[in-house]
Amino acid sequence: MTANALVKQFYDVVNNPGNAPREWQKQQGGRVIGWLKTDVPEELIHAAGFLPYGIVGGKTKFSRVDAHLQSWACSLMRSCLGIALNDELNFLDGLIIPHTCDTTRMVSGIWRQIHLLPYMENFFLPRQVDRASSKMFMLAELMRLKESLEVYSGSAITEENLRNSIALYNENRGLMRLLFAMHEKTPGLISCRDLYTVVRASMMMPKETHSHLLEQLLQALRIQNNVYQGRDKVRVIISGPVWEPPELMDIIDSKGTVVGDDLLTGFRYIASDVNTEEEPLAALAERQLNRIPFACFDSTQNPRRQFLVNLVRQKQAKGVIFLHLKFCEPENYDYYDHKLALEKAGIPSTRIETEVGGVSVEQMRTRIEAFFEMLGGI
Ligand code: SF4
């Protein structure tokens, strides 16, 4: 199969969100557990015999959401709730909501009232990830979640099952990192939009199938490797929660290329693996506490502003595009510090305010194109 035909299959998953989990349910007769946003240990859900399904918003009607969530909540959570209210998630048997910010805390209570599922859990995460107490807290929370999943499934999550799930997820992350490396070296080989669609699809379909397709895609791209180049494109870093709306990536693709990010639905999702040498729960805790920094989790040893400066230098990027969702308080609070740190390091940046769920990209186009021109692009 050609690379284009394979990439199309990832788009099919993302554009028809319920199809992959429904197909899995039909074939396996199993239960699907959704998780909101990111930072939920999918390996535990998988090891319990369920299909983890990432809910990261999308195009939906917001009219029914307004009755439950104020219009000044972020559009990521508003669109997730909208999808549920419009019965687009009726294949879910359960849901795990990570408590990352005030909005997710609110959504946790609201979701139970409007769309109660047989299994609903919260997942609590420490904010200051390098405090001595954080690892203890994280480990206790993982144990609690494991027990809760065991009660719902009716059987124990064995160490062997958990290790197998960790290996499966590590393998999938490793394959996606290979794709990122390929894109970084030869940006013309696979567009930014295609690349990030592959990541998004991995949250919405069985990892086994995703890895299988991805291996084929990598192989097809290796064969094409000398055909496309694009190595002279202007290189930028993207920072923010999610790459929305997806058409933004087309604008970036037409002017330059993304060589690094800290997006929840981007490289941050796959950047690090779970250490298979350690006790599995301790290793899951360790991974969570050492992930790429994000507005909701602060690290004094690896603050995000310094992480961004280092990333720009390491990737030889020319600038940073902040993609901030309107009303995302954690990102907005941190922005000034990030901008200042980049300025001090002589790195240009621009901030684009975006929304999830069908916003027009035309205004953003002008700003992104102007930024690339300023960086010396076409
Ligand atoms: S961190 Fe921002 S984008 Fe994520 S749920 Fe909270 S407010 Fe929304």
Rounded CA gap, 301 and 71, in Å?
36
pLDDT surpasses 60 at 378? no
Q: Are 229 and 186 in contact (CB under 8 A)?
A: yes
Q: Is 77 in the pocket of ligand 1 (CB under 6 A)?
A: yes
Residues 299-351: pLDDT tens digits? 888 899 999 999 999 999 999 999 999 999 999 999 999 999 999 999 999 99
For residue 41 and ligand 1, the question of a CB distance below 6 A is answered with: no
Q: Is 347 in the pocket of ligand 1 (CB under 6 A)?
A: no
How far is ligand 1, taken at its centre, from the CA of residue 242, in Å?
Answer: 10
Position 369 scores a pLDDT of: 93
Asked if residue 263 has pLDDT above 80, the reply is: yes
Q: Please state, in angstroms and rounded to a whole number, the distance separating the CA atoms of residues 145 and 280.
A: 14
Q: How far apart are CA 104 and CA 94, in angstroms?
A: 16
Cα 76 to ligand 1 centre (Å): 7
Number of the ligand 1 atom closest to the C-alpha atom of 327: 7
Query: Cβ(76) to ligand 1 under 6 A?
Result: yes
Distance 58 CA to ligand 1 centre (A): 14
Distance 295 CA to ligand 1 centre (A): 9
pLDDT digits (tens, 9 = 90+) for 89-126: 999 999 999 999 999 988 989 999 988 999 999 999 99
Closest-CA residue, ligand 1 atom 2, reads 328
Alpha carbon nearest to ligand 1 atom 7, residue = 328
How remote is the CA of residue 118 from the centroid of ligand 1, in Å? 25
Task: Indicate if the pLDDT at residue 377 is higher than 70.
Answer: no
Protein residue with least CA distance to atom 6, ligand 1: 101
- Look at strands 51-55 and 234-239 and give their pairing: unpaired
Instruction: Report the run of H or E that residue 308 belongs to, with start and end.
Output: helix 304-315
CA distances from 374 to 90, 157, 265, 367, 378 (A): 47, 54, 27, 10, 9
Distance (Å, rounded) from C-alpha 364 to C-alpha 126? Answer: 34
pLDDT band at 198 (very low <50, low <70, confident <90, very high): very high
Q: Which domains does the chain have, with CATH numbers?
A: 28-158 (3.40.50.11890)
Atom of ligand 1 nearest to the CA of 74: 8
pTM over 0.85? The answer is yes
Ligand 1 centroid to residue 108 C-alpha, Å? 13
**Ligand 1 atom nearest to CA at 331:** 2
SS3 sequence, 110-134? HHHHHCCCCEEEEEECCCECCCHHH
Say whether pLDDT at 229 is over 80.
no
Ligand 1 mean position, distance from CA 67 (Å): 19
